[in-house]
Each structure stands twice: as structure tokens, then as C-alpha cells.
């Protein structure tokens, strides 16, 4: 008797013009992809996270929140009956590969292509007994891409330190970071075809008299460290230099994966990197930072939900994930697109901490004189933020007034927090043997990761746990002196009218920038 099939929604790219694509030409073209499992007790897991239950070991979490082996084996048998191959199995992801014609036959779908890129023209189908158990598939298109969130300054006269940008000590003093330096913590930095040169890093840390932190390079999928020889390698260099400068006693791990190609999916690379970090029992990262993204309309919904499922699972084992909110303001897209508001992904993932940007001015003693939302004044970008049209309002945002524009519906608000990111104030980086100045939420995200490492080190010394699903705690502290509210500025950009900085939470800077020591005190005083 034939299986009853059901379509799995969320795999198409509605922003793409199907008329510009043709039917796939080569049936033997090989595609890697993944099936991502739901947890059978989604509500129970969410309640556990909100109740701040102690984090679980990877083994205990998998045992409590995965499907039984019989269902997984049945799924594997069904998926491989037409020639698809199981590449690797994990507790929450089944990694697969096969020819395009095999995928079309098995999943009842149809590939189309353009200029070497491919996507599906109809939703995949699975048996009705499998449908409730999966988030969906990732990797069945290679059109969507993520971009690094840094940019050069437009006005050199506004740069801190007479054109050099803010030094690490300036940021630590201005935001009153706590004394801890991250000892005992491990911060993972997710990079995509983006390498670094160890001599550049050493020169940066030497300039600011910072002891070189422990640094480990991990290739997620065979992608090597190219040594920082390409222009786009500035992203990895910036992440490592600044994260190491602010939390020099933390261990840093660079998780390197492919940025996608004509034969592979960038969305799949992000999933691989997140899952590798989750599974990494050798380096055991406590905190992750991601400085890449693009507007959420440019990704399949199933891909974004799959990313968030891994981020949520990571929170359950005590890992916190920070994501840059983007540098294109409320427009949110890299390159031309519809002139409407777009929230950046993966910053839209509700189990991640989305980090926006501000414009910071300090005096000679590094005391904050003025801090506004990062606003586009001279085509210098703006803080990414807005209201997701993919993810629902998460519980920690249920009590705040979200600025939902006409024609949009309520959803997860972005960002959650902020920190200086305007390139016209600038951060120095030593890259390819020379100094340069950049900005963007690629700076604010790893610095927030380093701040949490400093706080978590103090927490560990007191046998307290602050890592994991930290969003509810941040929102509890949002209206308190742990944050500096940002009430001036906006994130209009690219012809799109954005959001205003208002008292309380706003869609430009979230709750604002941190008073680091007060934030530490607030997180450590929360009842268990």
C-alpha cells in the first residue's frame, strides 16, 4: 500500500522569480542536505528553558528530547529507498546526499536552476507518519547567502582616537565591564570561508599589551584557514582580534565552514557549524558569536527554523549564541530588493541574542558623553532591527509593546541588546600587515560574547550558572540600570523608513547598551 504523503511547508524562496529559472539540466548533480528533527516534547523543553532549569549534558539532553530509534530507522529506510545515501546520523539531524533526480523522486519535488544555482519549485513531501517529527530539510537550495556585517567608515573626522577608532580599553572602560577576563570559558566564532593570519592577530594584541589568548582552529567540513589572504578575511580577523582583546583569558575556537558554492548551500554550512559546535565535546564552547546574515525573506523558512532548533538545543546544554543584527537598518537586505522592512537572519532566531549597534562618543576619561542608535547619516549603514515575520513573539517579549508597522504582523523583535557599531566611530583591526578601521554589528556581537564570558567566569567562581538561554534574564534586567536606554536615533536606510529609538525596548538597539558591572550584578543576583 502506497504511503500517504504530506507537503512540508517552508522550503521555497518566494522572493525569487520562478520565471527566471529553468528546469534542472543534470539529473546526476549531487546535493548534500539534511533532515532536521523536531524534539518530541517541544513545549516541555521550552518550559524547562524558561524555568531556568540546570543545563543538561549532551547525552542527557539527547536521551530526554529525541525521537525513538525505531522512528529514525524507519525514516532512514524510506529516504534511502530511491538511492539517497545517509552520510551521517546525529541525535537531531540526519545528514543525506544524492542525485537531484533521486531527491525529486523520493521527496516528490522539482528542482529548477539559474546560473549554476538551484532551488526547489515545489515543497518536498514526506509520509504522514514522518511529517510531525521534522522541522524540515536544509540544503535543497544554494541561492540564499549570508554576508559579513562589517563596513568601513564614511567620515574619518568622527573616528575615535584621532582617526584610529576605539581601542579595547576604551570600550571596557566606557561600558564599565566587570574585572573578570573570561578565564575558564570558551568562545566559539563561526566563520565561513573566512580565514586569518596568526601574525596579524599577534600584532593587534601586542599593540594593546594584551596577552595572546588560546586559539584553536576547527574545520567543520574540510574548509581550511586560508591564512587571511583574501579581502573578505577581514571578518574572521576582526572577530578573533576583538573577542580576544576583551576576554583575553577565555579560550577562542574558530569554527570554519564553507561559504557555499554552486554545489553547496550556505544555509547548510551554517547548520553544520552550529551542530558541530553543539556536538563539540573536545572544545566545549560556552558562547558562540555569528557575524553574518541577510534579510529573512531571502532564506527558506525551514532553514531558519532549523537554525533556531539547534540554537535552542545548545541553550539547553548551557551555551549562549550571539548574532549580529545587521548593518542595513530596517531595510535589512544586502543588495537590491523590495523596499520594505526586513529583519536579519539568523538574528531573528528567538533563542539567540541579537546584537544591534549604537553611535558612541566618550570624553578623555572614556566616560560616555552621548550614545545614540546607529543612524544612517552619510550612507554609513544603520543598526539592523525590526519585527520578524517568520518567528512568533517569544515569551520573554510578551510583556513589551512591539512597534508593529501597518501591513505587518507581530513577531520576534530584533535586536535584544546593542553596543557601539557605527563605522564612523570605528574599531581598529590589524589585517594583512596593516592597520584599518571598520565598524558594524560584526564588532558589537563578539564584544557582547566576550562580556558574557567575563560575567560567566565570575558566576562559575560562585557556583552559579548564567549561560544558556539568557534572553529571559536580559529582558528581566532590561528596564533596570543594567542597561543604558538609547532614546535618540533611528534605523531608516536604503529608502525604507525604519524604527525610532524610544524609551524601553526598541527595534534599533533593543534594551540598549550594557553597564557591564551592573549587568553582572543583576545576572548573579537572580534567584535560581
Q: Which residues are catalytic?
A: 235, 239, 442
Cell of 72: 529514525
Grid coordinates 594583512 are at which residue? Answer: 432
Q: What is residue 172's three-state secondary structure?
A: helix
- Give the other-Cβ count within 10 Å of 229's Cβ: 9
Angle between helices 58-65 and 301-316 (to 10 degrees): 120
Roughly how many angstroms between the first and final C-alpha of the chain, as a whole number?
Answer: 54
Closest among 319, 314, 320, 269 to 292, alpha carbons compared: 269
- Going along 115-185, which residue ranges are E strands? 117-120, 125-127, 134-138, 147-148
Q: Give the start-end residues of each E strand in 5-110.
A: 5-7, 22-23, 30-37, 85-89, 93-99
Query: Could you tell me the three cell numbers for 371?
Result: 550614545
Reference 277, options 310, 245, 230; nearest CA is 310
Alpha-carbon span 180 to 454, nearest angstrom: 5
Q: Are 327 and 151 in contact (CB under 8 A)?
A: yes
Asked whether 324 and 301 are in contact (CB, 8 A), the reply is: no
DSSP symbols for 104-127: HHHHT--EEEETTEEEESS--EEE
Does residue 502 have a cis peptide bond before it, meaning omega lies within 30 degrees of 0?
no
Closest CA to 373 of 508, 496, 515, 174: 508
Q: Answer whether 124's CB lies under 8 Å from 209's CB.
A: no
What's the rounded Cα separation, in Å, for the pair 353 and 470? 8
Amino acid at each position: 500500500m502506497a504511503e500517504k504523503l504530506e507537503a512540508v511547508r517552508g522550503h521555497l524562496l518566494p522572493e525569487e522569480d520562478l520565471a527566471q529559472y529553468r528546469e534542472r539540466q543534470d539529473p546526476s548533480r549531487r546535493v548534500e542536505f539534511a533532515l532536521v528533527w523536531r524534539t518530541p516534547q517541544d513545549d516541555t523543553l521550552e518550559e524547562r528553558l524558561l524555568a531556568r532549569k540546570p543545563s543538561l549534558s549532551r547525552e542527557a539532553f539527547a536521551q530526554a528530547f529525541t525521537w525513538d530509534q525505531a522512528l529514525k530507522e524507519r525514516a532512514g529506510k524510506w529516504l534511502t529507498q530511491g538511492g539517497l545515501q545517509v552520510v551521517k546520523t546525529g541525535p537531531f539531524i540526519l545528514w543525506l546526499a544524492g542525485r537531484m533526480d533521486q531527491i525529486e523522486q523520493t521527496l516528490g519535488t522539482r528542482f529548477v536552476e539559474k546560473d549554476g544555482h538551484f532551488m526547489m519549485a515545489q515543497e518536498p513531501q514526506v509520509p504522514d507518519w514522518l511529517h510531525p517529527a521534522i522541522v524540515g530539510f536544509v540544503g535543497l537550495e544554494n541561492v540564499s547567502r549570508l554576508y559579513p556585517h562589517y563596513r568601513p567608515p564614511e567620515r574619518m573626522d568622527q573616528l575615535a582616537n584621532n582617526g584610529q577608532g576605539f581601542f579595547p580599553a576604551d570600550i571596557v572602560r566606557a561600558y564599565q565591564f566587570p574585572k573578570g577576563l573570561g578565564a575558564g570559558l570558551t568562545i566559539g566564532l563561526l566563520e565561513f570561508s573566512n580565514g586569518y593570519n596568526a601574525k596579524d592577530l599577534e600584532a593587534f594584541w601586542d599593540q594593546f599589551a594584551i596577552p595572546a589568548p588560546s586559539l584553536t582552529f576547527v574545520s567543520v567540513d574540510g574548509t581550511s584557514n586560508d591564512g587571511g589572504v583574501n579581502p573578505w578575511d577581514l571578518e574572521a580577523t576582526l572577530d578573533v582580534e576583538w573577542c580576544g582583546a576583551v576576554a583575553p583569558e577565555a579560550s577562542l575556537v574558530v569554527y570554519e565552514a564553507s561559504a557555499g558554492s554552486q554545489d553547496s548551500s550556505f544555509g547548510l554550512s551554517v547548520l553544520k557549524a552550529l551542530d558541530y559546535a553543539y556536538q563539540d565535546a573536545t572544545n566545549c564552547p560556552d558562547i558562540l558569536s555569528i557575524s553574518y546574515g541577510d534579510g529573512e525573506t531571502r532564506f527558506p523558512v525551514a532553514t531558519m527554523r532549523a537554525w533556531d532548533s539547534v540554537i535552542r538545543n545548545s541553550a539547553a546544554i548551557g551555551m549562549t549564541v550571539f548574532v549580529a543584527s545587521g548593518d542595513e537598518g530596517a531595510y535589512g537586505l544586502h543588495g537590491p530588493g523590495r523596499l520594505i522592512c526586513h529583519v536579519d537572519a539568523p538574528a531573528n532566531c528567538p533563542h539567540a541574542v541579537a546584537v544591534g549597534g549604537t553611535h558612541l562618543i566618550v570624553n578623555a576619561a572614556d566616560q560616555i558623553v552621548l550614545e545614540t542608535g546607529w543612524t544612517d547619516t552619510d550612507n554609513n549603514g544603520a543598526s539592523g532591527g525590526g519585527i520578524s515575520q517568520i518567528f512568533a513573539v517569544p515569551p520573554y517579549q510578551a510583556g513589551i509593546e512591539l512597534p508593529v508597522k501597518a501591513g505587518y504582523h507581530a513577531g520576534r523583535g530584533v535586536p535584544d541588546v546593542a553596543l557601539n557599531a557605527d563605522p564612523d566611530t570605528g574599531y581598529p583591526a590589524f589585517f594583512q600587515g596593516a592597520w584599518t578601521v571598520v565598524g558594524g554589528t560584526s564588532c558589537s556581537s563578539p564584544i557582547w560574547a566576550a562580556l558574557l564570558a567575563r560575567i560567566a567566569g565570575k558566576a562559575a567562581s560562585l557556583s552559579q550558572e548564567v549561560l544558556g538561554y539568557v534572553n529571559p534574564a536580559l529582558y528581566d534586567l532590561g528596564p533596570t540600570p543594567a542597561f543604558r536606554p538609547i532614546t535618540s536615533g533611528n534605523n531608516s536606510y536604503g529608502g525604507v523608513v525604519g524604527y525610532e529609538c524610544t524609551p524601553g525596548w526598541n527595534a534599533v538597539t533593543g534594551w540598549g547598551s550594557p553597564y557591564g558591572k551592573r549587568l553582572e550584578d543583576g545576572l548573579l543576583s537572580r534567584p535560581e
